[in-house]
Each structure stands twice: as structure tokens, then as C-alpha cells.
Amino acid sequence: MIKIKLFSDPLGNIIQYDIKGHANFAPYGEDIVCAAISVLGQTTLMGLVEVLQLKREEIFYKIDDNTGYLNVKLKEIKDKELVKDTQILLQTFKLGIESIQDTYPENLKIEYRRCDRWLNWIYNYLLLKKE
């Protein structure tokens, strides 16, 4: 089963996705569920890096083809328009994987999480601002 974790900040913006595993829908090379998830995950990453041209300080990603692992994390992006554009890509990715989960629920599990690192950052920012 493929497991996908979507992490959102307190405002509901997707700031990270994590894909692990194999769907085991069909033999290797014929698995349409694995192929679909892989295409969505990697195309979203390429859109962030190649189309939106996020800089190294704005994005982190790790890929391991052997284990079917892809992790993409947005870092601090200061340009509000760029944040909006990243969300268009990431929300489209979310719609795509949810559509696949609707059709193949035994091969894909999506987990939604709220990322506390943003809460910590906001707390520290407000604390430092008071001093």
C-alpha cells in the first residue's frame, strides 16, 4: 500500500508531502496505481522547482526510487504571490491523489497532518518581538 502524508500549516496551506511504499496493484512495471502516484508526486515537485523556480532555501526534497519514497517540504517563502502559486500546484496534487484513493482505496492511504513547526515559528516570532 502507498501511504501519503499531507502536512498543512495553521492557515491550511500544504507545506509538505511524503509518499512511501508501493501499491501492489499489479506486477512491477504494470502497476497503474504506483505509476499514477509517482507521476503526480514528481510532476508537482518539478512544477515547484522548474516552473515556479523555488530556490534551495525555499524547498527541500528527497527521492528514493528503490523504496518508492518521495518527500517534499516547503521552507520559508516570503513572496506572497509565490506562496499562492505553490498552493495551486499542491492543492491540484491533493485533488489528484484523492481521486486515485476514491478508485483504489485498498492501494492508497492518505493521512492529513497539521505541521506544528509553523506554530513554533509563530510563537518564537511573537516572543522575540515582545523583548
Q: What is the overall mean pLDDT for the chain? A: 89
pLDDT for residue 130: 46
- Please state the rounded mean pLDDT for residues 57-85: 91
Is the model's pLDDT at 70 over the cut of 50?
A: yes
pLDDT for residue 19: 97
CA 73 from chain centre, in angstroms, equals 7
Model confidence at 81, pLDDT cuts 50, 70, 90, reads very high
Per the CB < 8 A criterion, the answer to whether 115 and 127 are in contact is: no
Q: Strand, coil or helix: what is 55?
A: coil
Q: How far is CA 54 from CA 44, 72, 77, 82, in A?
A: 12, 12, 9, 9
pTM of the predicted model, to two decimals? 0.84
- Please state the rounded mean pLDDT for residues 101-109: 96
Is the model's pLDDT at 34 over the cut of 60?
A: yes
Instruction: Decide which of 1 and 130 is more confident.
Output: 1
Is the model's pLDDT at 129 over the cut of 80?
A: no
